[in-house]
Structure 1
């Protein structure tokens, strides 16, 4: 028995486990295995449905037509994969968000494949759409895999961690496929079975990305860290910061409440607003402001801004946002205005100037403290993971 366990361990865990990886490796691989289990199970049903839709099981479709449909379907998927690859660095700084979004796209693609059973005459457009979604999901999975495994490796064992991780996924996939084959022989309800497996897949995917502990501060984790610092005076640990990160905020939908490196016209309604606040940032290589028409805080960088200036500007933007929230909450606004959120909050020029002055005072005394406490907790601060825009103020 001990020999069998040793053999199994050689395939599913890195050498020196558990000392060779960080603690969060186990929950991540557990949820990853479950996700592959449900994914493998669903693959049987979706493939079966696709083949039925083109008439393979009923011998009503010519072999040539089936081949052409399959080639077009796969070709559309490859085009989608190439187009999505343009996301580039987003795979680095919004890793969890994109990984989870990719898994949701995988489920969407599987659902569209099943829909071909209801409308087999629309097989080609539906199968093409499904394959685009699934290939985009594949790009996301491939692009985020190495950074995640790198986060688990304690030493120079990234290759070992990756190999064993993929082995766990393949084993779970095979087990899920086997279970699905046994279930399919009983002709269960397709919709019910898919629904249950899909729920298991999405839940496992969510728990999988939530279990990853990254050391870098992207925008989501940076916001969590600064917000906690402003409220409690302490920077959250790596586990706390990652746990509280919002993985549902997908990068391509819309910008958050803080915009880094925007164009001048997006940040300022009128040039005189810039002229009024610019003196407060005379010694800085950035300018931070609030645009009431968009309800966002903007951090603009001067052309000589360096890495630390960008980090400081991002910190200052979060501090200003904090003061704007306090100002918003202190106003006696009607319920209708509060329902509309910060977009309905129109501070006067005097109010905005007061918030900026207060934020400048706090940043001057607390930015160094924040950096020090973040380093103590193990956070790695880099402007690259904050994805600042390229626009710069040139004097």
Structure 2
């Protein structure tokens, strides 16, 4: 072998090693086989799994200690029964939560982050068993139910996210490499955590640090996902931007501005596909606005007692009617909020405006606002759809998750 042959062989080795590593962590044909946002998503995903793997060591160690593995006086059979009951409760929780399937498509980013938040709550409960080992079984069962619910959500939202990154028919390859990266990061986090745990660090401090890192990584991971469908959060961003500026945000802009975390106590200002009794305080309100929607397959109204805009769908409503109803509801909400803001400025000179005045300012002339919103929607909805399509948003299907209630549209004889 000549010197040139030796040099050539040695120079090929790093390239072969890199090719070998790439075959495990990136899809074939990378970067052309995936969308541009794939790299930041995988970076945050790897970091999240690193923190998750590290935290798993502490929770498992705590559970084993709490159940009595370190105590020779505990009967091994009792330990096994406790562990089996704990896992059984988790599987029951997973099965019961699976019926929420459709919601995984509508709000997958919101549910994905919520699942990671639930996972942290479950891990926190597991760590708490160290302080109350006598309550190991009920606490471990609750923790496992919470964590299995999180697992169902995470698994159910995984494929649609990977699908958003795949270019062509390579969803299987993208999924496999994504899971490989997660597993590698998980193993690295586990190894580091085992090394650190030998020094007996504070459980509270360790959990706080790892939990913050996990949730921050999860939030950034979800925010980096770019979807071209319109769920309620992205639809709100698109409509609000169109109303205020006439501009529809790009896919990247719309996804980056989307609200990721919706706490259960948050007041929703728009309801789509509502029931009649929720939307109208009395039949007179319905009769007053019905003529405005004779040619539409929906109705939009405002209930001042609940401070919410309602979009009611007629029984012939199709996908485009649902989108138009949601668009109309946001236009009406904009008029009501603008009117309310103007009236608040006038009320600022009063020392103590009471709640009745506040309610009145939201209630006054809302029928006029509905009539005005009908004119605006009639002239601008087509433009909204056109601009949304130009930006790459899919308008043929909606993920607005309307309620199942429908109005009978038959005209009285």
Q: Same fold (TM over 0.5)?
A: yes
| Contact 2:25-2:180 at 8 Å conserved across structures | yes
* TM-score of the aligned structures, taking structure 2 as reference length: 0.92
Counterpart selection for 2:91 from 59, 62, 78: 78
Taking the TM superposition and a 5 Å limit, the aligned residue runs for 1:216-231 are 216-231=229-244
Q: What is the deviation of 1:349?
A: 6.5
Pair 1:366 & 2:369 matched: no
Count of matched residue positions in the alignment of Structure 1 and Structure 2:
393
Equivalent position of 1:393 in the other structure:
407
Please report the RMSD computed on the Cα atoms of aligned residues, expressed in angstroms. 1.9
Pair 1:280 & 2:296 matched: no
> 1:221/1:338 Cα in 2 relative to 1: closer, same or farther (>3 Å)?
farther
Pair 1:159 & 2:189 matched: no
Taking the TM superposition and a 5 Å limit, the aligned residue runs for 1:27-38 are 27-38=40-51
Listed one character per residue, the Cα deviations across residues 119-145 of structure 1 (whole Å, up to 9, x for unaligned) are 100000110010011101100110000
> 1:137/1:339 Cα in 2 relative to 1: closer, same or farther (>3 Å)?
farther
Equivalent position of 1:298 in the other structure:
310
Counterpart selection for 1:198 from 201, 211, 220: 211
> 1:349/1:111 Cα in 2 relative to 1: closer, same or farther (>3 Å)?
closer
Pair 1:25 & 2:38 matched: yes
Q: What is the deviation of 1:326?
A: 0.5
Equivalent position of 2:270 in the other structure:
258
Equivalent position of 1:171 in the other structure:
184
Counterpart selection for 1:117 from 96, 107, 130: 130
CA distance in 1, matches of 2:352, 2:213: 40
Unmatched 5+ residue regions in structure 1?
A: none
CA distance in 1, matches of 2:370, 2:219: 38
Q: What is the deviation of 1:339?
A: 11
Pair 1:271 & 2:273 matched: no
Equivalent position of 1:375 in the other structure:
389
Matched residue SS, 1:356: helix
Q: What is the deviation of 1:58?
A: 2.4
Equivalent position of 2:105 in the other structure:
92
Q: What is the deviation of 1:381?
A: 2.2
CA distance in 1, matches of 2:376, 2:357: 25
CA distance in 2, matches of 1:338, 1:187: 59
Q: What is the deviation of 1:346?
A: 3.2
* TM-score of the aligned structures, taking structure 1 as reference length: 0.96
